């Protein structure tokens, strides 16, 4: 018996992963920029070795999820892209609670995924549990929000500097960055 692609359960040819790099490059060119978007790609990545084991370290969570803003339109799971829900300044909030963060302001594949499970884009509960079970030394007292509507220069010079300042204030040893 000869098996075909249909017999194996393959997806339809149209059902391919989205090539985000090319999609955004094309988008910038369509906006009228005379040069394509240049992706940040470094020959060397900055790295600092951990000074102590994770089980003894204070870990921060950094997210691009936005605090819910009732006056900014639909932002719930399944919401269409909502640029009005974007935020433009780094923020820090108490990590001991259960904040209402959303991702409607981000461009993601809404056909093949959903924002129904906050833990998929903001794993604060998992980190709280890891801290209580001793998997990490402690969770930082605050988590930090990083804006997504920025140039690379602004992200590096302004946003990263602000997050680093918060992390130092909170005596953070390492951070988990969840870019959505």
Q: What is the pLDDT of residue 30?
A: 84
- Quote the CA–CA distance of 144 and 99 in Å, as a whole number: 12
Taking phi over 0 as left and psi of -120 to 50 as alpha, with beta for the rest, 120 belongs to alpha
pLDDT at position 150, please? Answer: 67
Model pLDDT, residue 11: 80
Which segments of the chain have a pLDDT < 50? none
Where on the phi/psi map is residue 114: left (φ > 0), alpha (ψ -120 to 50), or beta? beta
- pLDDT score recorded for residue 166: 98
Angle formed at CA 112 by CA 37 and CA 79, multiple of 5 degrees: 80
Alpha-carbon span 72 to 70, nearest angstrom: 6
Can you give the pLDDT at residue 94? 97
User: Is-contact 50 174, C-beta < 8 A?
Assistant: yes
Residue 107, token pair as written in the block: 């461009």
């Amino acid at each position: 018996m000869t098996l075909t692609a249909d017999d194996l359960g393959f997806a339809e040819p149209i059902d391919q992963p989205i090539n985000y790099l090319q999609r955004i490059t094309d988008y910038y060119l369509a906006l009228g920029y005379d040069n394509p978007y240049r992706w940040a790609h470094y020959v060397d990545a900055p790295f600092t070795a951990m000074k102590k084991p994770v089980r003894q370290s204070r870990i921060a969570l950094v997210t691009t999820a936005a605090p819910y803003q009732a006056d900014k339109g639909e932002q719930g799971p399944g919401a269409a892209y909502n640029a009005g829900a974007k935020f433009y300044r780094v923020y820090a909030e108490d990590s001991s609670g259960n904040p209402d963060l959303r991702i409607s302001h981000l461009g993601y594949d809404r056909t093949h995924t959903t924002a129904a499970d906050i833990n998929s884009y903001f794993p604060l509960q998992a980190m709280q549990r890891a801290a209580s079970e001793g998997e990490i030394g402690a969770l930082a007292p605050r988590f930090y929000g990083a804006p997504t509507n920025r140039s690379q220069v602004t992200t590096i010079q302004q946003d990263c500097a602000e997050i680093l300042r918060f992390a130092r204030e909170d005596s953070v040893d390492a951070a988990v960055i969840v870019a959505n």
